[in-house]
Structure 1
Amino acid sequence: MLTLTLDIGNTFVKYGCFEADVLRETAIVQTREQVGEVVERWKPAHVILASVAGPTDIWAADLRSLVSGQIVEFRPASTPLPIRNGYATPQTLGVDRLAAAVGAAWLRPGRDSLIVDAGTAIKCDWVEGGHTFRGGSIAPGLRLRFQALHTFTGRLPYLEMPPDLTAGIPLTGNDTESAIRSGVLNGAVAEVNGILDQYRAQRPALGVLLAGGDAAFFQSRLKGPIFVIPELVLLGLHRILVHTIDYVEE
């Protein structure tokens, strides 16, 4: 069975083409027309759409004449899930957080996982026992921290991310720019490592899955064994789609 997952963000769409449970192709596009071209080329039987940018009804309408099977618009509060959602306010839960949790549960069945999704925000989310999403924490991502220092102060400059994400960041900045980089980058690493320490103290067998656009920066800087899964959200969306299809057909 061929399926397509669409992770719709504010500026681009990341898609994943699956054959059975194997991710065959993934890339980034920007327009609904480009998504249509992917659908016409891949010819999926079913599609799932998830958006952090707003409703997906227009996207779904564009696809109805191209897809013969299910078009699932993922909504955390109502879409059937293969795991239990223990979040107190599912209607406010981001689709990316819950999809990543489903992906983690699929990759680590029966085991505790902590997802570190380092993107626009840094999200640390706990999946208990491979079966229940418990929630976690949301903090500003690296670029938001740089932006906030510039926006909410009178004289601090706005800095971009360093071009080499694997290069060391001096702990002691000897000018304003290097001090900002130390505070933002080393501070974020210390923050996430502190969160990991607290979870590991409670759950010694916890596995840590790292995803998101800034995963490359954190990969070598986080303590303990880390599994880097760049396509974790797409994997989770695929499992939600398969579960929904099975649920509808029962």
Structure 2
Amino acid sequence: MRIIVLNLTIDIGNTQTKLGFFDGLDLKSVQKLSSVDNIPWQSIIDTNKITHSIVSQVGNVQSDLETLHNNTQYVEVHHQLQLPFTSDYDPFTNLGIDRVVGLAAATYLFPLENILIIDAGSCITYDLITSKAHHLGGVISPGLMMRYQAMHTFTHQLPNLEIQQPSSFPPTNTDEAMHHGVISSVVAEIEALIGRFGTFTPTFRIILTGGDAGFLSKRVKNGILADENFLAIGLNLLLETNKS
């Protein structure tokens, strides 16, 4: 009888926490949580028979992970882990943990390919990695909601809008003007940066991931929408690589 070893991946982002449950490399289920507070880790471990766990945290978001640390073989993503890629980023420790996980996922899932990862979350990040698993660098820019919120926060009269596809052009009202200012500029930015990265690596696969990837994938030429569990798969592969 095969011994089942269950892995738990925990991706703690700026707006939600995502749990991935794996049997080896096989993703069994995903759970999304709106908060990192009061997560019943012991119940999750016991119910799902978790033996190994890996955690990725961004920014200043913190969660009480002592239960995981004490009751599973626990790995926290950091820059000294055994990673499947090299990088020109300087210093490498300034490369965001979410970007590290994305690069690891791309290297594992698309070996021997040049990959441009576009992660459309709170910020939009662009990272180019070669077929030799070498990270050439990347770009960080404000995400969709950050752009809307900036216009509302730093002016007296502009409204606080949600993401919406603009309809008419040229815009004839403030809401439409703001939607075009955000959506059209982000699409133009993405397409321009795809061209700019193309001067370094003429051909590459484009992976579009992150919370706004579904919205943007309909508007960006040649964008390949990654599996919504792209980062969970990357975390699990890092866990498998770094098991003691």
Give the TM-score of the pair, scaled to structure 1: 0.88
Residue identity opposite 1:63 in structure 2: L
CA apart distance, 1:201: 4.1
**Moved >4 Å (runs of 4+):** none
Alignment CA distance shift 1:88-1:63 (3 Å): same
CA apart distance, 1:169: 3.8
1:143 to 145, 148, 173: 145
| 1:50 maps onto 2:52 in alignment | no
Aligned residues between the structures: 238
Q: Is the 8 A contact 1:56 1:73 kept in 2?
A: no
| 1:24 maps onto 2:28 in alignment | yes
C-alpha RMSD over aligned residues: 2.0
| 1:64 maps onto 2:69 in alignment | yes
Gaps in structure 1 of 5+ consecutive residues: none
Alignment CA distance shift 1:241-1:136 (3 Å): same
Q: Distance in 2 between matches of 1:6 and 1:130?
A: 28
Deviates more, 1:43-52 or 1:8-17: 8-17
Q: Distance in 2 between matches of 1:118 and 1:230?
A: 12
Q: Distance in 2 between matches of 1:108 and 1:134?
A: 16
Residue identity opposite 1:88 in structure 2: D
Instruction: Output one character per residue of 1:31-75: Cα deviation in whole Å (capped at 9) or x when no partner.
Output: 34334432222222210011004476841x1223432xx200111
Instruction: Output one character per residue of 1:128-173: Cα deviation in whole Å (capped at 9) or x when no partner.
Output: 21512232011000000001111112221121112xxxx5643421
What is the DSSP-based 3-state SS (H/G/I as helix, E as strand, rest coil) of the residue aligned with 1:45?
A: strand
Residue identity opposite 1:15 in structure 2: L
What is the DSSP-based 3-state SS (H/G/I as helix, E as strand, rest coil) of the residue aligned with 2:10?
A: strand
Alignment CA distance shift 1:157-1:56 (3 Å): closer
Q: Is the 8 A contact 2:166 2:183 kept in 1?
A: no
2:236 to 221, 235, 238: 238
Q: Distance in 2 between matches of 1:38 and 1:171?
A: 50
Q: Distance in 1 between matches of 2:158 and 2:129?
A: 39
Match of 2:187 in 1: 189
Instruction: Output one character per residue of 1:178-235: Cα deviation in whole Å (capped at 9) or x when no partner.
Output: 0010111111111111111222343232000111110111111111252422222111
| 1:87 maps onto 2:92 in alignment | no
What is the DSSP-based 3-state SS (H/G/I as helix, E as strand, rest coil) of the residue aligned with 1:194?
A: helix
Q: Is the 8 A contact 1:7 1:234 kept in 2?
A: yes
Match of 2:133 in 1: 131
Match of 2:18 in 1: 14
What is the DSSP-based 3-state SS (H/G/I as helix, E as strand, rest coil) of the residue aligned with 2:239?
A: helix
Q: Distance in 1 between matches of 2:160 and 2:62?
A: 34
Gaps in structure 2 of 5+ consecutive residues: none
Deviates more, 1:199-208 or 1:232-241: 199-208
CA apart distance, 1:9: 2.0
Q: Distance in 2 between matches of 1:243 and 1:14?
A: 21
